[in-house]
Amino acid sequence: MVCPGQSVQPWRPHDSAPITSNCPECSRHGDVAGRLRPAPEELPAASSGQVKPVVAEKMSAYAAARAADQVSFGATPALVAQMQQMGLEAWIDQQLALPPSIISAPRYVIDYVRNDPQAESKARRFAPDSFYTLAMIGPDQLRLRVNWAMQQFVPAASDAYPIVEYFNMFQRNALGNYGTFLRELSVDPAMGAFLSNNQNRPRSTQCPDCAPNENWARELMQLFSIGVVQLNTDGTIKRDAKDKPMETYTQKDVEELARAFTGWRLAQTTPPPPDTNWQNAPNPMEPDPWEFARDSGAKTVLGTRFAAGQSARQDLETAISMLMAHPNIAPFVSLRLIQHLVTSNPSPQYLGRVASVFRNNGQGVVGDMKATVKAVLLDPEARRGDVPGTDRAGFGKLREPVLFITAAMRGLGCRTALKWNDGNSFGTRGQSPLQPPKRVQLLLADRPRPWQQLTGPRAEAGHHG
């Protein structure tokens, strides 16, 4: 990726200074102006005539560049230098203290004419373009990267504005508590509409055509929390006397949990939202006041009893507390974080160490994402390859298209996303941020990716509806 008429050598971890460009073409591309120029703060200061003392580096350039690939959207000269000076743990701690970058949508994203293709296209481009800009220059790179990792196994497809607020919800929770994240996810309007939980109603004499909708209940367990087979803390599968994997839940559990999540509707506000924001983002879903919208009878899910007469919010709290106490959730979530940040094939020992931190952060808290992410990145297995030639064969992960293109753009000094002449972001070979296919993606470590013939995470499809 080179400016027209310009030959530029890509930056490498051992280079002493970032690349620059005097290409006249760069300055006339308004959306990517200065894409090969470093930020002003990255330029070396003029010499004062004094020889400065040499500061001992806490990481080699190789180790820092390798870590940068795991904690950000791509290594840059400035990031590598910062990590060398601070050390990885101190850099992580600094990142954990940063507030989340939040996307603020302009009016043309919230309210536009649906039958105007240009208006709709412009509105829908806003979220991925904003994502790319944050990937390029967002200060909270670690939070953004964890957000991206979580969205690979907790995706939703929605309209232009609700998906912006869906991203913001992940930003608030990516380094928070996983239980809080599941609570907010359960009433997020984009997810509620995506998995139809806003239509989840019990059948009754008053509503003979209603029926509990199992989409949310099933995916909450299968994809977002505990998975389909029972796991040991190290992620190995529990098996019965006949060596068959032991299932985590039954169809009856799905039906009972679907009953527990009846009675939620999209938020009702005055004035009503525009048609292009019919999900009424960013307002969370709310309990439907209609008496027959909800099944308030007793339920039993995974052996946990939901008392009769509980409200919609009480049943939600019982459900999330049940899942956070389940032995599967620690290895299930930890594996996905490791796979998307560090390596597709962690050892059981590595996974077990991280899962133990997810289960207890040292202060008795379950689901502490800051502690868990730190355990993922600082584990000896994650850092063993910081010295060239010391990593084990098969360690690491293939970059999916978005991470491939962001690494290239950040390495070239881009400040915003590259775009085609039609305004769309530069190609990502079938993967677009915040615009997933209308089906849930599971990225598994031992299958070919759909966009290449190499072994690595790929999209597994699960239909809804």
Q: So what's the pLDDT on residue 438?
A: 55
Q: For 166-221, give the DSSP string.
A: HHHHHHHHTTSBHHHHHHHHHT-HHHHHHTTGGG-----SS-TT-----HHHHHHH
Higher pLDDT, 25 or 330: 330
Summarised one tens digit per residue, pLDDT across range 383-417 is: 999 999 898 888 999 888 899 999 999 999 998 87
- At residue 227 the predicted structure's pLDDT band, cuts being 50, 70 and 90, is very high
Q: Is the pLDDT of residue 24 over 60?
A: no
In a domain, 216, yes or no: yes
**Any domain includes 104:** no
Distance, CA of 120 to CA of 112 (rounded, Å): 7
C-alpha 283/C-alpha 291 separation (Å) is 22
3-state secondary structure of 112: coil
Is the alpha carbon torsion for 144, 145, 151, 154 positive or negative? negative
Q: Is residue 298 part of a domain?
A: yes
Q: Are the C-beta atoms of 106 and 38 separated by less than 8 Å? A: no
Chain segment 290-329, per-residue pLDDT in tens: 999 999 999 999 999 999 999 999 999 999 999 999 999 9
Per-residue confidence (pLDDT) for residue 391, from 0 to 100: 86
d(CA 6, CA 291): 69
Task: Give the range among 69-73, 176-180, 428-432, 461-465 with minimum mean pLDDT.
Answer: 461-465
Q: What is the pTM of this model?
A: 0.84
Please give the average per-residue pLDDT across 421-428, as a whole number.
70
For residue range 159-183, list pLDDT tens digits in order. 999 999 999 999 999 999 999 999 9
Domain membership flag for residue 119: no
- Residue 57 has what pLDDT? 74
**458 band by pLDDT with thresholds 50, 70 and 90:** very low
Give CA–CA dist 83/87, Å, rounded.
5
- Segment 11-33 shows an average pLDDT of 39
CA distances to 30, 84, 335 from 67, in Å: 32, 10, 18
Instruction: Assess whether pLDDT exceeds 70 at residue 40.
Output: no
Determine, yes or no, domain membership for 282. Answer: yes
Angle between helix 215-222 and 312-325 (nearest 10) = 20
Do 400 and 449 touch, CB atoms closer than 8 A? yes
Q: Which residues contact 22 (CB under 8 A, 6 or more apart)?
A: none
C-alpha span between 61 and 81 (Å, rounded): 8
223 within domain boundaries: yes
Domain range for 264 is 184-229+237-327
Q: Which range (32-46, 245-259, 297-311, 415-429) has the least confidence?
A: 32-46
CA distance to 99, 260, 411, per residue, from 60 (Å): 28, 53, 18
**Residue with the larger pLDDT of the pair 373 and 459:** 373
User: Do the domain assignments include residue 290?
Assistant: yes
Domains: count for the chain? 1
For range 138-156, the mean pLDDT: 97
Nearest one of 5, 39, 10 to 22, comparing CA atoms: 5
Give the tens place of pLDDT for each residue, 196-222.
Answer: 999 999 999 999 999 999 999 999 999
d(Cα 121, Cα 104) in Å, to the nearest integer?
18
Please report the pLDDT score of residue 418 as a whole number. 79
The predicted model gives 120-135 an average pLDDT of: 94
The answer to whether residue 311 sits within a structural domain is: yes
Residue 422, pLDDT > 90, answer no
The confidence band for 56, taking pLDDT boundaries of 50, 70 and 90, is low
